[in-house]
Amino acid sequence: MIFYFSGCGNSRYIAQTLAQWLNDTLYFIPEMARESRYDYTLSEGEKLGFVFPIYSWAPPRLVLDFVKQLQLAEKPGYIYFACTCGDQCGQTEKIFRKALKEKGWELSACFSVQMPETYIGMPGFKLDTEERAKEKIEAAKASVMRNIPRLINKEMFSEMIVGSFAWLKSHLINNGFNKFALDDSKYRFTEKCISCGKCAEVCPLQNITLEDGHPKWNGHCTMCMGCYHHCPVNAIQYSKATEGKGQYCFS
C-alpha cells in the first residue's frame, strides 16, 4: 500500500515506479482525504509506503495531516517513505519519524531523490536548465532502482539529502512557509488564457473553479504550482515572481 502526493508529476513517477516493482497499490492522498478515507487494512507482511515532494525542507502539511488521521487495523511492520526534492530535504526524516511515533509506529526506511525543481513562487527561485533536469531524472531513476531490492527485502536504511542549516530550514522557515506562503490570492491568469480548464483539472486539491471560463483560486492551496506548470499556454502567474521563468512538469 503506497500513499502519495504530487503536484507536478515528479513524485507520481517515483510512486508509480515503486508500485510497479513492488506490485503494490497506489492511493492519492488528496483524494483519500477529500473522501475521508482514513481506514485501511494491510495484508499479512504488507509494507506501508509514502511518496511525496519536499515543501520547504519538510513533508507537505497535507501529507503530515493525512498520516495523523490514518488508521490501520494492525500496526504496520515495515514503513518507508521516498521523497523528491529539488535540492535538499532538511530534517524531513526526523519530522516524519515523529509523526509516525505519535501513532506508535516506526519508520524502517527512507530515501530522497533530486528531481527537477518546481518552486518558483518567490524571487530568486528558478527552474533547472533542461540539461540539469534530465541529469536529475536519470540519477533519480538509478537511485530508485537501487533501492527497490532493499525495500523488497525490508531492509532498514536511510539515504537522505539533508543539507546545511537543516533545523533552521525545516522548523523556523517551514513554519513561516506554512503560515504565509500558501497564499493563493497571488495567482492570476493573463490575457493568454484559452479557457481550457486544465488548471482546474490538475489541481490536486480541487481548489480551482472556472468563472466565465477562467480560473478562480478558492483559498485552500498547498502551493504545488501544478496549475502554473501544467497550463498549455503559460497563462498563469504567481504575483510577479513567476514571470519569464518557464514551466516544468514530469512527462
Which residues bind to ligand FMN, rule: CB under 6 A? Answer: 6-12, 53-57, 84-88, 115-119, 223-225, 250
| Closer to ligand FMN by Cβ: residue 56 or 242 | 56
How near is the Cβ of 65 to ligand FMN at its closest, in Å?
16
Place of cell 483539472: 201
| Closer to ligand FMN by Cβ: residue 157 or 165 | 165
How near is the Cβ of 223 to ligand FMN at its closest, in Å?
4
Cβ-contact 215, 195 below 8 angstroms: no
How near is the Cβ of 89 to ligand FMN at its closest, in Å?
6
| Closer to ligand FMN by Cβ: residue 107 or 249 | 249
Neighbouring C-beta atoms of residue 50, cutoff 10 Å: 27
**Can you give the three-state secondary structure of the chain, one letter per residue?**
CEEECCCCCHHHHHHHHHHHHHCCCEEEHHHHHHCCCCEECCCCCCCEEEEEECCCCCCCHHHHHHHHHCEECCCCCCEEEEEEECCCCCCHHHHHHHHHHCCCCCCCEEEEEECCCCCCCCCCCCCCCHHHHHHHHHHHHHHHHHHHHHHHCCCCEEECCCCCCHHHHHHHHHHHHHHHHCCHHHEEECCCCCCCCHHHHHCCCCCEEEECCEEEECCCCCCCCHHHHHCCCCCEEECCCCCCCCCCCCC
How near is the Cβ of 153 to ligand FMN at its closest, in Å?
26
How near is the Cβ of 12 to ligand FMN at its closest, in Å?
6
Cell of 27: 492511493
C-alpha count within 13 angstroms, C-beta hemisphere, residue 55:
26
| Closer to ligand FMN by Cβ: residue 224 or 235 | 224
How near is the Cβ of 121 to ligand FMN at its closest, in Å?
7
| Closer to ligand FMN by Cβ: residue 84 or 207 | 84
| Closer to ligand FMN by Cβ: residue 108 or 118 | 118
| Closer to ligand FMN by Cβ: residue 88 or 108 | 88
How near is the Cβ of 139 to ligand FMN at its closest, in Å?
13
CA dihedral over 221, 169, 27, 76, signed as positive or negative = negative
